[in-house]
Amino acid sequence: MRIKINNIKENPASLLRRAGYTFQRHAGGEMSFIRPLAQSGYPRFHIYARLENDCLLINIHLDQKKETYGNSTRHHGEYEDDGALKEEVKRIEMIIS
């Protein structure tokens, strides 16, 4: 699911920290952030964010559990804009906007 936040005046990492996210790593031209929902680390919300001019572009999904395919780029994720993911997007927009 994608979110676009216009007119960003603050560092993206600071904005997402305010929403409860932890910086994980740089992945290509994007920054990766996570917000675990359980002490074990999964399920968790996972964000890839990048700046484009003064807009913050966010791609968010819900990782249900750790990858099990032997390939760390594939995992059990939810990308649909309903349920918990839809509620999380609303929460992020309220905090950041």
Tell me the pTM: 0.84
Residue 92 in domain? no
**The predicted structure's pLDDT at residue 83:** 83
H or E stretch including 24?
strand 22-27
Is a pLDDT exceeding 60 seen at residue 74?
A: no
Residue 40 in domain? yes
At position 19, the amino acid (one-letter code) is A
Is a pLDDT exceeding 80 seen at residue 92?
A: yes
Residue 15 in domain? yes
Map tokens 């649909």 to a residue.
80
Cα–Cα distance, 79 to 7 (Å, whole number): 26
Structural domain span for residue 8 = 2-75
Sign for the pseudo-dihedral over CA of 37, 87, 62, 32: negative
Is a pLDDT exceeding 80 seen at residue 47?
A: yes
**Number of structural domains, the chain?**
1
Sign for the pseudo-dihedral over CA of 14, 19, 23, 28: negative
**The predicted structure's pLDDT at residue 89:** 93
Bond preceding residue 12 cis, omega within 30 of 0: no
Cα–Cα distance, 61 to 83 (Å, whole number): 12
**The predicted structure's pLDDT at residue 4:** 94
